[in-house]
Structure 1
Amino acid sequence: MNKRLMSVIAIIVAFLAVAFVMTNNPNPTAVAKKKNYVPTVGILQLVTHPALDEIHRGIIAGLKSQGYTKNKIKIDYQNAQANQANLKTMSQQFTNENADLTIGIATPAALSLAKTANGNNPVILAGITDPAGSGLVKSAQKPGGNITGTSGDSPLEQHLAVIKQVVPHAKKLGIIYTTSDHGGEYNAKNMAKLAEAAGYDAKLYTISTTNDMQQVAETMASQVDVIYAPQDNGVASAMKTLINITNKNKIPVIPAVDTMVKDGGVATMSVSQYNIGYQAGIMAAKVLKGKETATYPVKTITQGDMVVNLKQAQHLGIQLPESMVKAAESKGEVIK
């Protein structure tokens, strides 16, 4: 009886040993299959615009820097062209094709992806202002779920300093944002608080869609000395319309990002949209490799470079400070 018992114990011990070895040293075929697996990443962009296009370009470069080159990843890129129905359909499309991870460029795109993912597959934010306030994460330091990424918070105090330098005698500041853009509203209202504290008479103006810009811009240009255009997708898309109106009234526009300066803004301290995307791409790659989104802090990009539009300044009869121009020449961009 003792011999039989010892035999049974020996068999159990041998079984457990084999199981332990297999658990810690997976089947070579399974490992090879995992190594050869090509993940699918869905990228959803709200609308075509130079700033968002730069974020997209940065994402691809960030993924590539981590080894996800053309043959190592499948990228499904979709552009909703500012259509809410498209956002929903495209988000669902990623789910239907079992995308391993999705990336949202602009807050509405990220919100749509988050809703569709429903706490399951990872979602990476690319340049989302105030992700906690948008309800996308619990906090920037501890996202707490399936979502993390990059935040492109505007350096508002630096933008206010640019306004003071460009239009030193201005008293009335107009600030415009899109009612459906949480990031734009967040930046606009925070700028209004800063401006009021600095002694400006700050007034907020809103558009519901880009179609509203002409009428709102005409009203605003007749009431203010200078206009601040925050990081807002609707305002950015209608920037040329805004500039057409403000130029007629000789009202300078200080925008949030470099692409808006190229569209007719006078100057700004611009955070690189490409870098925002690049960092998001790196984060996406690390999540694909196993990093947990719940404990992966949101990376906030706030370091900006001076960008000036000398042609626009000249058109408005503004002499930009020499120090500002030199800063743009040394580490930034000068548009002539």
Structure 2
Amino acid sequence: MNTKNAVIREKRKKVSQLIQRWLFSNEQFLNIITIPCASTDIFIYSILEYMNKGKSILYISNEDEEYVDILEKIKKNSSFRGYSYLRRGDIKLKSKFIIVKAANALEIMRDFDLVIFDDTRAFPHHTSYEIIDIMARMSKDEGKFIYCGVESIFKGKREIIIPVSEWPHPIVEPRTITTKINLEEDIPYIIYDYLKWSLYEDRKVVIYIPDLEKGLKVASYIRFYCKKLNKSVLCSWEEGKEKSFLKFAKVKSAVLITYTFENIPTYFANANLMVFFADYKLYDYKKLFHFCGVINSYESNFKEVIYVSNEETEDMDKAKELARSFNKEAWDMGFLSY
């Protein structure tokens, strides 16, 4: 395991050096293809060096302000503190390095030498066309663009593939449970059995649902039909997101029902994920695949992502194929072993 960790660290170091060289090349577009929730350590020294040359950088990420991975990495690895985080209305920021959510990016009244769009650290909401449009509108005429996501958006341009994060683990390949039961009214027995087994084994399960209305129905019937589970069922809307997440993190075993997709906490150690209504229109393949990255962002021996739906969709199939392709790439590159 230590050998594989060393191999990954060396690979990430080489990628960091590649990005640094690319910044001072004549190329304008770069795709970083990696798994959801991957570490941003590969950008640290490129960002610092580029600013030292007097360049301005806009870093777009939909993470919560309380924890932006690139800022945590920069604070940990350097003394640089000259960054700014844009909140709505702060349109006159003069910092060389500005971090902003995509929804607020266009409020900044200036152009940048480098625009980085990190589409892996938070739940993906934007299409490729929307991302390219935002980046183009925030760049100088000769500016550079880096997109970090699960697939390329700059077609025919340079790609760097990083199929693992910081640990030599394959990304979780999701499985599907289909049922004819109306998931707004009842729970398939196999799900009840799975939840009961998880609690017996001192494990945690996060059930994701598309919205509050469906969440209320799911919570109601789980508590009604599965009375043995009642004391172990938490709902994110009942005590507030932060309080319920912290409570869930502290207990040995529990079931958390939530419709909060933004910045899913990565401290859900020992938790498996179930995505209810996985065939719902909200879930495209990038969103479904993002769940696999969530539980891949911490170390645990047994992890599962289960899509629960009435039918299997093309997006579910595509999410599975993405997981398989990243794992194949990781095996071929020597990051994984039996």
TM interval, shorter chain, is 0.3 to 0.5
Normalised TM-score (structure 2):
0.33
Structure with the largest fraction of helix: 1
**TM superposition score normalised by structure 1:** 0.34
Greater Cα radius of gyration, structure 1 or 2: 1
